[in-house]
Amino acid sequence: MGSMTDSATLTSPEIWANIDERLRSGDEDRWLSSRYAAKPERHALIALYALAYELAKVRLVVSEPALGAIRFQWWRDALEELEMGKTPRAHEVVGAVADMLAEGRYSVDTLQDLVDRFEDAFGDEDRGQQPETLLAQTAASVLDSAHDWQANIADLAPRVAALRRGETAGDIASMPKMPSTLRPALAHFRLRRLYVRRGRPGNLAKRLCVMRAIMSGRV
């Protein structure tokens, strides 16, 4: 990987706060889990989730395939420029991602894969194809690159996403206790219990549910 950015381009606290607030509004589930990460890792999770949110919401902004392709290509080009060591584009999320790439939190290849898979889901008009597993695996690796929860994540991530969309996801086998290192990336999986029972849970119920997952490791 080429050199990324120097200290002059580091994202300001104000911009981190802006990104954090937008994620809270757009993807509260993952945002809630991320509150329990130490600040450096929390930044890495927030930048990753903010990128995913930008990609996921393309379907809400445009409907024509050609216009969607332009937006996805913009992100693809922005990531390629970061890999080449160019100055980040004037977009808060690009700057935040650049900082995390510079710290080695994840790779450009992984983020490019996210772009490709979100674009495929957009093109097929199938939210079920969105890369929930890849996103969760990447987030988990930010916290513990040597974890052994890959298979559990692959089972849970798409099912939890389907339940959040109000779809039927089938039964999920009893899961082993989450490693404590992974909980700030995966605790929101426990929200599946609320989505099954109540549909759209309230904010307090969600916060308590995620906190229980953090404390117990049970999703």
User: Tokens 């099912």 belong to which residue?
Assistant: 159
Determine the pLDDT at residue 40.
93
Residue listed under structure tokens 């194809």: 129
- Please provide residue 70's backbone torsions phi and psi, each rounded to the nearest 5 degrees: -65, -45
Q: Which pLDDT does position 5 carry in this prediction?
A: 37
pLDDT digit of tens for each residue in the chain (219 aa)? 333 333 344 789 999 999 999 999 999 999 999 999 999 999 999 999 999 999 999 999 998 999 999 999 999 999 999 999 999 999 999 999 999 999 999 999 999 999 999 999 999 999 999 999 999 999 999 999 999 999 999 999 999 999 999 888 777 778 899 999 999 999 999 999 999 886 678 999 999 999 999 999 999
In the block, residue with structure tokens 């890369």? 131
Could you tell me which of 151, 150, 170, 144 has the C-alpha nearest to residue 159?
A: 170
85: left (phi over 0), alpha (psi -120 to 50) or beta: left
Rounded CA separation 219/217 (Å): 7
| Amino acid 8: pLDDT | 40
What are residue 78's phi and psi, to 5 degrees? -60, -40
Is residue 187 within 8 Å of residue 155, measured between CB atoms?
no
- The SS3 assignment for 32 reads helix
* Contacting residues for 212 by C-beta, under 8 A, at least 6 apart: 190, 218
Rounded to an integer, what distance in angstroms lies between the CA atom of residue 129 and that of residue 197? 25
What's the pLDDT at 96? 97
| Predicted local confidence at residue 198, as pLDDT | 63
The rounded distance, in Å, linking the Cα atoms of 104 and 115 is: 19
Query: What pLDDT is attached to residue 105?
Result: 96
- Predicted pLDDT at 196: 87
| Three-class SS of 73-100 | HHHHHHHHHHHCCCCCCCCHHHHHHHHH
